[in-house]
Amino acid sequence: MTDTVTQVRLWYWGRISSMVLAFCVLVHLAVIIYAVRAGLTGAAVLARTHGSVAFGLFYTVFVLACAVHAPLGMARIVREELGWSEQIVNLLAILFALLLLVLGLRAVYGVVLA
């Protein structure tokens, strides 16, 4: 695979993940506004989300989009601003993606299933 093809694919995944994130952020903010206006406590929110398949799926998609999008941006910034080697930048991006994925999915599990 050529470097150009790789860059196009990374650009594509960055754009797709940003579209998913835009939707997820709007829904997330709407849920927060609803919860605040309804006067829900943290315990009430957790009671409503516990066992909710829809909530779990939505926030899993949110986490996946974050785990794709954020490392791509971080890698580009590190590469351009710090001038680090491609191998180091790619390794950091993969580690960052895994960190976001593990922590995000753990949070979804904790809210929905635990």
Q: Over the chain, what HEC string results? A: CCHHHHHHHHHHHHHHHHHHHHHHHHHHHHHHHHHHHCCCCHHHHHHHHCCCHHHHHHHHHHHHHHHHHHHHHHHHHHHHHHCCCHHHHHHHHHHHHHHHHHHHHHHHHHHHCC
Mean pLDDT of 5-12: 93
Tokens linked to 76 = 């580009």
Extents of the domains making up the chain:
3-112
pTM of structure:
0.89
Residues 3-112, CATH architecture: Up-down Bundle (1.20)
Tens-place pLDDT, residues 30-46: 999 999 999 999 899 99
